[in-house]
Structure 1
Amino acid sequence: MALKLILPTAAGALQPYVLSGNEPVQPARGTRFDRIAYSAAHVVADPLAPADPWLQPALDWDATIAYRQRLWSLGLGVAEAMDTAQRGMGLDWPTSLQLIRRSLDAARDVPGALIASGCGTDHLAPEDVKSVDDVIRGYEDQMAAIEALGGRLIVMASRALARVARGPQDYERVYGRILSQARQPVILHWLGEMFDPALAGYWGSADVDTAMETALGVIAAHAAKVDGIKISLLDKDREIAMRRRLPAGVRMYTGDDFNYAELIAGDGFGSEPTHGGSDALLGIFDAIAPAASAALGELACGRVDRFHAILGPTVPLSRHIFAAPTRLYKTGVVFMAWVNGHQQHFSMVGGQQSARSLPHLAELFRLADAAGLLEQPELAVRRMKSLLAVHGIDA
């Protein structure tokens, strides 16, 4: 019997919806990739913690680590304590460092587990940051703490640097100092203002092309210390242009949650293998992990058509999750984990489960069904009905 329920529309009406009956995407066991693929992983809040959820982050550590173990089991790496984990958006630095420590400990029990961790300046009080020297010290504090745990670094874009820098030379100074000290090659992180308005004008210019020249100059000057750069500008043409200009061996990690399928597939252009297609460091891979794993496995086998057949249907879902205001995408990611049974509740750090409307979540449910991403359809329907009931809808 077909599964069905009542769902709200964007116009505020209620309409019956019958599930497609599509088989959930299932990657083959032991899938191997020819791309490096990190999933920026979300955290699972603890709704039973006696804390004010708007002010104090409280995590369910067992469920949070179990989700990372799931990602590793699918062949995906974990980009830890990034914005998908609500880093700087509800998750403070002490909790982030504990998260990094616990994830690194868990990774040691998983052969081949890939993990890199966000290093930033979010522990600095805005009123205490007067100069780029303060920013450097902030980066160095987190860098030392993560490296002491044996972690690899993702050098995150800094709100503090964006606020105090007076031009490209300040970015060159900060990144030059940090890269020169790194124990092993790092991933740089360029997050567009659509993800975080406080990062407007990053790299010292509001003009993206000018900013890109600065970033490329920093990378060229320290190429041996740069594994790659993740850019999240939602501009595929600029990503491709930058990818083609990276030094030999430096990877482009796509952070484009609108165009990731074609960017990962690549165009084969360039003498460097890593410049003909992007690797990945994506928030959407948290929500579409089985499809991402299955598609990357097909790509590694040269079955490009199958890659697109699996990953293509996930793109409308991703564009919906990351719709403006883009910074609220975490709500959709956690919603997907909940309806698929990977956590027992739809609660988030900072109460962010309320950041998206019920019609938005209903459309997300439809798109997940169409893409074969409802892993347990009966459970997904029950949980969606429970959410609708909270909003007074008898589905």
Structure 2
Amino acid sequence: MTDNRSSTLDANDPLAGYRDRFFRADDVRAYLDGNSLGRPTKASAERLSSFVTEEWGTQLIRGWDDGWYELPLTVGDEIGAVTLGAASGQVFIGDSTTVILYKLIRAAIDARPDRNDIIVDTDNFPTDRFILQGIAAECGKTLRWVTPDPDAGVTPEQVAEVLGPDTALVVLSHVAYRSGYLADAQAITALAHEAGALVLWDLCHSVGSVPVQLDAWGVDLAAGCTYKYLNGGPGSPAFGYVRTEHQEAFRQPIQGWMGTSEPFTMGPEYEPHHGIRRFLSGTPSVIGMLAIQDMLAIVAEAGMDAIRAKSERLTAFAIDLVDDLLIPRGVALSSPRDPSRRGSHVTVDHESFAEVNARLWAKGIIPDFRRPHGLRLGLSPLTTSFEELEIGVEAIAAELP
């Protein structure tokens, strides 16, 4: 049974009113997986419906001349301005995160042909590690591994130990997908640049929940998905960031018609477009970009600073609940206690969580299970209430053996 802690926190939450702008399923009592898939906005339901009847259905192919062609860049600029601290002309949208990571990593190492090493950490998201292993084998490069504390993340000191004159690229996640550790992106980027290396940040678990300042930090490249805190829907297209100074010098490896200087000329040779458009490849998903725009409008209205403040309050309350209800039952906290080093999710571990999670889902309590025995409490600041969080942690405690 919840107590008045969550009620007081909800009553004093300046962002509480935003929850009404999102769909809520009647059979879901606590949704604690917003860091895997965000709730849909009500505005997106209207936008998607009207798109079928008023744009796709009436414009048909003419829609490409009436805004669709520019969407990967206009939505990219919105993502950059609202969530990334990026000036216009540096963010594009299209492809999956996996494909964009491949394109940007290959472009970066090709731009440093005399350097052999790529730095990555052992606890990075599997896709990032798998892509890098494939590229290293393909291009004859060497991966230099950082091994962070699995309950924390990569520190500047750890990166400094493996940086050297042969480092071409550093690839790290801003927020660790498992522990929620928030890396010091500015300090690590500066260290890499001192060594003459480039840096690519995976922003999948930070964009929309943690303020990011790519331009100010001097970041070279970044990539991230849009279906978590940007609520674009299952499989909504990812974004890529390429700093202006690199765009003309970098050659992206997946040369498709949408990245050419004259896409509709259908010329015999590939000629890259100037600027960020050259990093597009194939035809982008127009439908996949629609819902992102509605969430970006909400994020811009609420403000990233307010969203970050709510995130810190949510994760702090989550840790209080974990300390009170779960740790006495043998659960371990696997996320940083320092809020300045924590993203918007909290991970706890217990050997029974695989079975517990299945029972929770059946009861409308939805955290995120991560093998071998972790539960992530993904707290989306604009959609998660303190009461919902408390209900969820109490349900976890009730299911423990």
> For this structure pair, what is the TM-score category when the shorter chain's length is used for normalisation?
0.3 to 0.5
For the pair shown, the structure with the greater C-alpha radius of gyration is 2
- The TM-score with structure 2 as length reference comes to 0.33
Higher relative contact order (CA 8 A, sep 6+): 2
- The TM-score with structure 1 as length reference comes to 0.33
